[in-house]
Structures are given as structure tokens and as C-alpha cells.
Structure 1
Amino acid sequence: MANDENPYASPLTDTSVEVAGVFAPADVEAIRRKHLNHEASVRSVGTLYYLSGTFLAVMVLGLIAAFFAEPTPGMWLGMFLPLFYLAMAVLSFVLGAGLRRLDARVKIPVSILSVLGLIWIPIGTLINAYILYLMLSAKGRMVFSPDYHAIIAQTPHIKYRTSLLTRILLVILLLIIVGSIVGFVLLPLTMQHPPR
């Protein structure tokens, strides 16, 4: 028999049934639960982009403070580095916002940055390979699709739950990052005026 489908089976027995571009109600929750971890991982990468944008913005402030603390005749040529970092900070915030919203338009720029990040061996390679997987895998295509946005709208009661251990580790990481940023900003100021 060429066709293995049962003509008498209910249309709701297949979990991938689409009805006019919208998934059948019985399948919506199953599809959302199947992709929920992937969705949360993509949103977490968006948060990492926010953190990198914040770090770059603070670096810009530190570099500008260092330039103006001790003016030199050719200092305006050195302003290109803070401008580059500022552009990267803005790009990080835009891409982070797109990832948090699961906007498909950020997939290509994030993928390009991740390919470039593969050269930062070993940590950058591991992180960016994982980000490429999140963007380009079958689940990634689904999470960024308009159908999945419709599924999210139909299942607002399904939320990803972060474990207590993960939250504690994130708070510790955030404190380390904030301490590093504060140290980076204060370091040029303390070098200008050593204690007496």
C-alpha cells in the first residue's frame, strides 16, 4: 500500500497537525513544553547580550574619563576606540532585545557574531558554538517562527522555572561582574591621584 495513513484516524492524533497556520488546541501545550527549554536558553543569550552591552557602555565611560583626566595633544584620535565600543554596546542591546522577544530578524546578526566568536579559544568557542546551535537548529527555527509566537500567545500559563541553585549562581556572577565594572571605572581615577 503506497499510503500508510489511516483515513479513519482522528486528525488530533498527529502532534504536528496544523489547521490553517494555527496548531490544533490539543497540540499547543505539548509543542510549547517541548520547546520551552530551548526558548529559555535563547532568552538567556539575550540577557548575556544585555550584560555585554552594559559592560561595553561602562568601558566607554571609563575610557572617556581616562582621556579627559589627562588630556594630550593627539587624544581625539584615541576617541575612535570608545566610539567603536559604544557602537558595539548599542548593537548588543538591540540584539539582546531581539533575542528576548524571539525576533527572527536577529538570528543572522547573532549567528555572524557567533561565527566570529568561535576563534576565542576555548571559552568563546564553546559558548558561541552553543549559541549557533540555539539559532540554527530545528528547535531554533521553530522558536523564532510566527507559529511559535502564536503558540506562546495561546499558552501564557506555561512558564519556564529557574532552579534556586541557578538563581544563586546568577546572583554571584552578577556581583562579580558589577565588582569588575566598578573596579574598571575606579582604576583610572586611583592611578591619577595616588593616596598620600
Structure 2
Amino acid sequence: MRADFSSAPDPSGTTTEAPADIRRRMLGRESNLRAVGLLMMLAAVPSIGIGIFALAFGIAEAVGILPDKPTILAAPSNPAYADEILVGVVGTAFLAWGGWLWHGARALRRLEAGGKPAAYAYGVASLLGFPLGTLIGVAVLALVSGRRSTYALSPEYRAIVAATPEIRAKLSIVTKVAICALVLAVGLVLMAVAMSLLQD
């Protein structure tokens, strides 16, 4: 049975529209929220990668996999191992942060409100990366806030999206260029961190 959206609520609370009209009017906010989810995924990838690498490095130190070094388990009180233990702890934190971002990003890409807490955290963290990160953080916080975003992440709007598959959002050229630049930056960060840990 086809759902009836003829009385679907307007975010402004003042008018009613057909589902296709609501989808077209909300398409910009929908696309922006999905783009935020994509940015969060790009941020999650290096965090997860750094976390896995650092955690593996710490475990290797603990069990004596690395050559010419006694195991941490054999000399747990040796202060020389403080750095390696810290690397393992930091790796665990990066892995947890990246996993949470990835989970929140997937929720936003599916237009689910469960992704908002991670999006807010990502936006706040981005504010520290002046100047580009600050701009991204402000944009993210603005996009995930407000009644339009709340409606776009509601079950009612997801039902409208499912009922109007012929309407599709497209990324702008500017967004595509920004995503390509971020992918390149992520790759460079991963290479730099990996080389730094290997040198240590």
C-alpha cells in the first residue's frame, strides 16, 4: 500500500505539500547533510588508520615482536617503555574516535538523527584547525542545526525520500573539488604519521 504524504508537515509548520514538492524543497539541505557525512567519513579514515597502526605498534612492543628489544611484559617497570605504552593508549583513542565518526557519518548519509552527536563533535573539533578547519566546523554546526535539519533527519522525511526515488541530489563542482582535496590531504597525513612512527 502506498503511503499518503499529502499532509506531510512542512518544516515551517505553516503549509502542506505533496511529497515530491517537499523533497525538491528540502533537496539542498538533504544534499548538505549527506555531504557532511562524507566529510566525516574522510576524517574517520585517517583516525582509524592511525589508531590501528599505533595500537599494533604498542602491542608489538608489549609482546616482543620488534627485533632487538626486550618485551614490555618482561620489564613492565622500565621507564623506557612509557612512550610505547602512550602510543598504544593514543592509538586506542584514535580508533575509538574514528569508529564513532564513521558510525555517525553512515547515519547522516542515511538521513538518521543518530548521526547528529558525532556531527556536532566533528564540527567542534574542526573549529581548532584555523583557518580552513574553523570554516568547515562552523559550516557543519550550522548545517546539522535548526528545524530544517531536524526534519530532514526524521522518519517522515526518510519515507518521503523512499517514495520519490526519481528525485536525486547531485554534488556541486565546488563540493567535488573540496572532497578531492581532502582525500589527498588524508593520504598525506597517513603517510607522514606512518613514517614518523617507523622512524621512532
* Distance (whole Å) between structure 2 residues aligned to residue 161 and residue 82 of structure 1: 36
1:18 and 2:27 are equivalent in the alignment: no
Give, as a single letter, the amino acid of the residue that structure 2 aligns with 1:128.
Answer: G
1:36 and 2:27 are equivalent in the alignment: yes
1:73 and 2:64 are equivalent in the alignment: no
Give the secondary structure class of the aligned counterpart of 2:43: helix
List structure 1 segments (4+ residues) > 6 angstroms apart after TM superposition.
Answer: none
**TM-score, structure 2 as length reference:** 0.70
Give, as a single letter, the amino acid of the residue that structure 2 aligns with 1:110.
Answer: A
**TM-score, structure 1 as length reference:** 0.72
Structure 2 matches for 1:174-189, cutoff 5 A?
174-189=183-198
2:47 is matched with 56
Give the conservation status (yes or no) of the 8 Å contact 1:58–1:181.
yes
Give, as a single letter, the amino acid of the residue that structure 2 aligns with 1:60.
Answer: G
* Distance (whole Å) between structure 2 residues aligned to residue 63 and residue 178 of structure 1: 17
Partner deviation per Cα, 1:132-171 (whole Å, 9 max, x = no partner): 2212222201201121111101110111122456435533
Number of aligned residues: 174
2:113 is matched with 104
- Structure 1 unpaired stretches of 5+: 1-15
Structure of higher CA gyration radius: 1
Distance change in 2, residues 1:127/1:169 (3 Å): closer
1:27 and 2:18 are equivalent in the alignment: yes
Give the conservation status (yes or no) of the 8 Å contact 1:58–1:185.
no
- Structure 2 unpaired stretches of 5+: 10-15, 70-79
Distance change in 2, residues 1:166/1:49 (3 Å): closer
* Distance (whole Å) between structure 1 residues aligned to residue 20 and residue 166 of structure 2: 10
- The CA deviation at 1:176 is 3.7
Give the secondary structure class of the aligned counterpart of 1:141: helix
